[in-house]
């Protein structure tokens, strides 16, 4: 079976975006930049082991929330680090752990604890965690845990 690689359409900043992303995530690097003369046509890069390709395809297509990058975080420190890095310099916060970076790409910065809580067999606890998450922009693990356990 062939390898599946996400492919991102940028207007003109594929290389800049790739370099920005690899500066944020561990185990990341730019693999190749394709040029036609002085103009960058495309780029391939790795983010934490996942290969991604980018194209400078012009302004015809824009990113939407219909496709996003999901980042599974083990700690609040990770959530904070990725959230802050991706919202700097023109990025914007959204709700429920979603944000858009300065290139318009949507990201979900989600602690692993959220999935465990929402999938818990105790539907009352899971419901409290869900209601807490729905009020958050950046996910705060301590607040999720407090809601899950019924603590104010």
For a pLDDT cut of 90, what percent of the chain falls above it? Answer: 97
Does 99 have pLDDT greater than 90?
Answer: yes
Pairing of strands 92-93, 106-111: unpaired
* CA pair distance 121, 100, nearest whole angstrom: 32
The per-residue pLDDT for 119 is 98
Q: pLDDT value at position 1?
A: 67
Q: Which residues pair with 69 in a beta bridge?
A: 107
Domain range 63-152, its CATH number among 3.40.50.300, 3.20.20.80, 3.10.180.10, 3.40.50.2300: 3.10.180.10
Mean per-residue pLDDT, 21-38: 97
Q: Does residue 95 carry a pLDDT above 90? A: yes
* pLDDT confidence of residue 11: 97
Q: Is 93 exposed, middle or buried (0-12, 13-18, 19+ CB in 10 A)?
A: middle
CATH number belonging to the domain at 1-61, selected among 3.40.50.2300, 3.90.1150.10, 3.40.50.1820, 3.10.180.10? 3.10.180.10
The span from the CA of 64 to the CA of 104, in Å, is: 8
Q: In the chain, which segments carry CATH 3.10.180.10?
A: 1-61, 63-152
Rounded Cα distance between 33 and 100, Å, is 24
Q: pTM above 0.85?
A: yes
């Amino acid at each position: 079976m062939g390898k599946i690689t996400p492919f991102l359409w940028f207007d003109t900043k594929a290389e800049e975006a790739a370099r920005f992303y690899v500066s944020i995530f561990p185990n990341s690097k730019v693999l190749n930049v394709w040029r036609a003369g002085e103009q960058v046509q495309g780029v391939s890069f790795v983010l934490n082991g996942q290969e991604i390709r980018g194209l400078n395809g012009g302004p015809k297509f824009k990113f939407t929330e219909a496709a996003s990058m999901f980042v599974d975080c083990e700690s609040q420190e990770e959530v904070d680090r990725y959230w802050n890095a991706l919202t700097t310099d023109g990025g914007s916060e959204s709700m429920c752990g979603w944000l858009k970076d300065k290139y318009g790409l949507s990201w979900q910065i989600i602690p692993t604890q959220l999935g465990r809580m929402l999938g818990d067999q105790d539907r009352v606890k899971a419901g409290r965690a869900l209601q807490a998450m729905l009020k958050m922009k950046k996910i705060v693990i301590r607040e999720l845990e407090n809601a899950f356990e019924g603590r104010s």
